Structure 1
Amino acid sequence: MNLPLILFYVFAAVILLGAINTVIAKNPVHAVLFLVLTFCASAMMWILMQAEFLGIVLVVVYVGAVMVLFLFVIMMLNIDIEQMRAGFWRHAPIAALVGILTAALLIVILVNPQLDLAHLGSDNTLPADYSNVRDLGMQIYTSYLLPFELAAILLVLGMVAAIALVHRQTHNPRRTNPAEQVKVQAKDRFRMVKMQPEVAASANDNKEEASEGEQKA
């Protein structure tokens, strides 16, 4: 067994372990860390398949930016873990069914004779001046131009939807608008009440009252 095949099985095991722990982890921070491990192992898998550009992009974009942002957001929010996992086991059978159907669909696609995976894996020798970045760019902007543009439109729509959800009208007292805070005046924050002054009794007055009490006794 050669070294690339050994590394393939090692990275595949790490990817499966990280993906499973991402789903079953009770702590959201641990789930994000397991997802980072999965992405790093996937990047190593891409590099092992001589797709260095995809591996570097996966580490730089997803691990270095997206996952770190998710980790900061999760650590800053006060998430109720017990409430978040309340319906986990209730929806587990449906999730397992979807996972089994997805795995079956992938197996059917991979064992299709038209895909010819044996031929794809046999060509491991590439010329010295080969650039997978140039090849990937040519494929995206020629053969897969329409799917690429549709994916870009979907990402823009997702961004617009996220902005619209953030700026929607809400009456939640926890969410404050800085523009409304600036308009607040002093009369809206406190109310002045007139009260009669209270003077504390001095020590001499206390002694006189004590002596008068003894004389009456």
Structure 2
Amino acid sequence: VVRAKNPVHSVLFPIPVFRNTSGLLLFLGLDFFAMIFPVVHIGAIAVSFLFVVMMFNIQIAEIHEEVLRYLPVSGIIGLIFWWEMFFILDNESIPLLPTQRNTTSLRYTVYAEKVRSWTNLETLGNLLYTYYFVWFLVPSLILLVAMIGAIVLTMHRTTKVKRQDVFRRNAIDSRRTIMRRTTDPLTID
């Protein structure tokens, strides 16, 4: 995404990431989230970003910087992530801490067992429509405003372009507008 020279490609590259994330959610048993994730991210966000980038009419800029310039910083960040994944999440306890706290609770918590025995959809619907209804309505209003804005931007009409009104043209009676004239032939003296 970052190294793409064309901004349209930068918008299109996250689509496989969203698709793979949806597959991962499907493997974890979150069937509703796995089906709604591509609809929201690919269908709404990626298409709106693509629309915005194409409206800007950005010229393709060449990147002249060296890639090796970012190698030390990315290497340090990669080592930190590797250290976290290997030493913290895979071990039963962190030997660096004086209290030897157990880190197995960092893996995940199954909230479905803590709530009643509802399905994923029932739990999500109960939470969304009772406790978090404001957080459900505000994004829908934001998406509504964005959709109306996109429609207004694309329906911009200029007055400099001559257009014909098709319905007015078809409503004209051709017998009144087309006149047949007869002319006398030329006479040469």
Which structure: larger Rg? 1
TM value normalised by structure 1 = 0.42
